[in-house]
A = this chain, B = another copy of it.
Amino acid sequence: MNTHIVRSYDEELKYLGNRLAAMGGHAERMVDQSVLALVNADAGLARKVIADDAFLDDAQREVDDKAIVLIAKRQPMADDLREVIGAIRIAADLERVGDLGKNIAKRVVAVTEGRQPLSLFRGLQALAELALTQLKDVLDVYASRSVAKLALMRDRDDQIDAMYTSLFRELLTYMMEDTRNITPCTHLLFCAKNIERIGDHATNIAETVYYVVTGEQMPIDRPKQDKSHNVVFKDDAG
């Protein structure tokens, strides 16, 4: 739109940073509202979240296009090039977070047809809160460039995985207690998985930020704590 304005390189980088900040805020809000829609069986709010996703798709394309034009035009070296590549990666992660929020919103009707105990929603809400704090913190680190804080995020990532595994187990138990719970709880399982994946995207962004700031790859991943794939009930005939 403002193609007639010649921006300085720093201004162009700053513009990308602002777009990413807007994308981050938008993605957080979508996830937050999708969980709220689930808890309150609010189909209207769910529809709003689904419609809101278009903003992130457009913003990602814009960041990509601008970043590539920037590289081609300015031919940045080392540090600056990392900034631009980092912006492309972070935009992709944020767009995916929005997709996950949209997917939760799409399940609202299927979930709220049944009657789930509030404790399950509480578990999901707590998981979402943790994942969103993680996302918010990593975007703060990106804005402030204080990578030392990334180390603190590790513990919370483990917490998210542990909470997800326990929620997975709880949902299975509930399905076994009453077959009428199977359909809604299956959708809740996918919602929980989506939220756990938001934590993974926050981790991806942390790795990108580390790379942008230091020029090095973050030390290789610690073992994953998501143990849900092992969950088996031996005594599940009940």
Q: Which of B57, B78, B113, B234 contacts A72 (CB 8 A)?
A: B78
List the number of copies, as a whole number: 2
**Count of interface residues, chain A, beta-carbon cutoff 8 Å:** 44
Residues of chain B lying within 8 A (CB to CB) of residue A75: 75
Residues of A within 8 A of B (CB): 57, 61, 65, 68, 71-72, 75, 77-78, 81-82, 85, 88, 92, 103, 106-107, 109-110, 113, 172, 175-176, 179-180, 182-183, 186-187, 189-190, 193, 217, 220-221, 229-234, 236-238
Q: Are B81 and A77 in touch, CB under 8 angstroms?
A: no
A77 / chain B contacts, CB cutoff of 8 Å: 72
3 closest cross-chain pairs (CB), A and B: A106-B229, A75-B75, A107-B229
Q: Which residue from chain B places its CB closest to the CB of A113 in the assembled complex? A: B232
- CA distance in complex: A103, B220 (Å): 19
Q: Select the residue from A61, A172, A186, A231 with max chain B CB neighbours within 10 A.
A: A186
A109 and B236 within 8 A (CB): no
Bound form: Cα–Cα A172–B179 in Å: 10
Q: Say whether B68 contacts A81, CB under 8 Å.
A: yes
Which of chain B's residues have a CB closer than 8 A to the CB of A172? 182-183, 186
Q: What is the bound-complex CA distance between A82 and B57, given in angstroms?
A: 20
| A182 neighbours in B (Cβ, 8 Å) | 172, 175-176, 182, 236
CA–CA, A134 and B25, complex, Å: 35
A199 → B minimal CB distance (Å): 15
Chain B hits for A113, CB < 8 A: 232, 234
A237 to chain B, nearest CB (A): 5
Q: Which of B81, B110, B189, B221 contacts A230 (CB 8 A)?
A: B110
